[in-house]
Amino acid sequence: MDRKQALALVDRYIQTPNLKKHILAVGACMQRLAPKFGGDPDRWELAGLLHDLDYDLTKNDPDRHTWVTKEILENEHDFHDTEILNAILAHAEKKPAETVLEKVLYAVDPTTGFIVACALMHPEKKLAALDLGFMKRRFKEKRFAAGANRDQMRSIEAVGLPLDDFLTLCLEAMQGIASDLGL
Ligand SMILES: [Fe+2]
């Protein structure tokens, strides 16, 4: 499976435009973070691009979220990359996050939505207008983007990356695909 094939699957299974943007953002962040942890940027991006593949299919049955992705990838696409499949399961707490890849994907998932919310509340409504200070002030406001679980975002520190560096790298990754994200 390569990036192009993964994007074709996203196009096939994801109908919700904002969900597709979220998936692209998570892919970009994972690719950007991989070298910090000695990971392969292409494989980490793949984990990001595939992590919510079944989200539209399981929205009324969240217990099945990620299990359906595993079934689709294994049974229909002969994809048996256990490291990536486990990271997909772990991001939705279907297994404990144990490996570095699993832990980073878990922390990235709420962070992209948080950064989108920061951009939307900024007067310029652009990712390009954000900086670390702006994000940190919003991070401390509990009612801002309340759906972005701060403990889950901060869990990146358990794998040795300070939150400030994490936010900066994720912002840079998302700025790199700003036109895809419409921000
Ligand atoms: Fe996600």
Assign residue 89 the CATH number of its domain.
1.10.3210
How many angstroms separate the alpha carbon of residue 122 from the centre of ligand 1? 23
103, 159 contact by CB (below 8 A): yes
Tokens 């994000």 label which residue?
Answer: 135
Q: Range of 47's domain?
A: 3-181
Per DSSP, the three-state class of 100 is helix
What mean pLDDT comes out for the span 116-133? 97
> Which pLDDT does position 83 carry in this prediction?
98
How many angstroms separate the alpha carbon of residue 123 from the centre of ligand 1? 26
How many angstroms separate the alpha carbon of residue 109 from the centre of ligand 1? 5
Residue 135's pLDDT band (cuts 50, 70, 90): very high
Number of domains in the chain: 1
Cα separation, 10 vs 173, in Å, equals 19
pTM: 0.96
130, 122 contact by CB (below 8 A): yes
How many angstroms separate the alpha carbon of residue 87 from the centre of ligand 1? 12
How many angstroms separate the alpha carbon of residue 137 from the centre of ligand 1? 23
